[in-house]
Amino acid sequence: MTGRVEGKVAVIVGAARGIGKGIALRFMKEGASLVLADSDAAYGQATADELGVPFIHIDISKMEDAEAAVALALATFGRLDIVVQNAGIYPWQLIENTSPDDWDRVMAVNLRGSFNAARAALVPMKAQGSGRMLFTSSITGPHVTSPGHGHYSATKAGINGFIRSAALEFSGYGITVNGVEPGNILTEGMQEQRGAAFIQNMENAIPLGRLGTPRDVANAFLFLASDDASYITGTTIVVDGGQLLPEGADFRILPS
Ligand SMILES: NC(=O)c1ccc[n+]([C@@H]2O[C@H](COP(=O)([O-])OP(=O)(O)OC[C@H]3O[C@@H](n4cnc5c(N)ncnc54)[C@H](O)[C@@H]3O)[C@@H](O)[C@H]2O)c1
């Protein structure tokens, strides 16, 4: 432990499991006081009990729920330094099979949820004259994609645009806004939503030879939340084991 977020108060949305839980564990080890928020009440409460921190059951697609998570942090700790909007859904669905309602739900959680988290956190951060807003984007959408990711890709590319706009608008308030673009990370959601063949295919495409862990992603969030990143705003960090690099499918073959 090096206390990189010592004394900071963070709300982490989508913290019950996977990458969000990894962020919570990492931030806690480095000295932050946490409020965990998630739409899965049972999983979320269990994770919060494990860490000994407050939990709030929310749906981040609803503005009043985002505000309730921020209010809990203010009521418990008296301030809010960091918000991490990590909640996201990624149902596998070809565009031709995606209904308008399917489309809207992915937009509502991933994209409107990001707006809601920023809008709710802005109030105390602006009053304090400082804050860190952090978002989980993806390499899927901003850089690459594969079939079945139409709505998801649109949300993650959208989050990157939102990060840039928010960073600019909030720069005068001492608030920085950044994101992390994970590659393929082995999480509960990944195992539920993608089959073994998909996961193996992704592993084969990663130069560093393995899927990422929630801790790999959390390390980038920790940097962006720390004082070391105080002059960084409006950008994203790719954490993908080199997956974006290959020009060809079989990147291990050298020219003969
Ligand atoms: N796993 C990957 O390979 C990968 C890659 C790139 C980006 N991401 C992104 O990382 C984030 C986390 O992914 P993960 O793999 O850990 O998923 P996960 O399903 O394991 O965890 C997501 C968490 O978000 C919560 N959540 C879902 N909808 C919510 C809502 N409406 N309100 C509040 N909480 C909600 C879930 O209950 C769950 O606890 C997502 O934004 C995802 O798009 C994941």
Atom of ligand 1 nearest to the CA of 44: 39
pLDDT value at 1 more than 70: no
Does the pTM surpass 0.95? The reply is yes
Catalytic residues: 152
Distance 219 CA to ligand 1 centre (A): 17
Q: Which domain holds residue 86?
A: 9-238
Q: 194 — alpha (psi -120 to 50), left (phi > 0) or beta?
A: beta
Q: Is residue 91 part of a domain?
A: yes
CB 224 within 8 A of CB 232: yes
Q: Is residue 4 part of a domain?
A: no
Q: Is residue 1 part of a domain?
A: no
pLDDT tens for residues 194-223? 989 999 999 999 999 999 999 999 999 999
How many distinct structural domains can be found in the chain?
Answer: 1
Alpha carbons 146 and 56: distance in angstroms, whole number: 34
DSSP assignments along 86-98, one per residue: -------B-GGG-
- What single DSSP character describes residue 39? S
Q: Is residue 129 part of a domain?
A: yes
pLDDT tens for residues 224-247? 999 999 999 999 999 999 999 999
What pLDDT does 253 receive? 82
Pocket probe for ligand 1: among 156, 187, 199, 239, the residue whose CB has the most ligand atoms within 8 Å is: 187
CATH code, domain with 62: 3.40.50.720
Average pLDDT of the segment spanning 39-59: 98
Q: Is residue 131 part of a domain?
A: yes
Protein residues whose CB sits closer than 6 Å to any atom of ligand 1: 13-14, 16-20, 38-40, 43, 58-61, 86-90, 109, 136, 138, 182, 184-185, 187-190
pLDDT category of residue 56 using cuts at 50, 70 and 90: very high
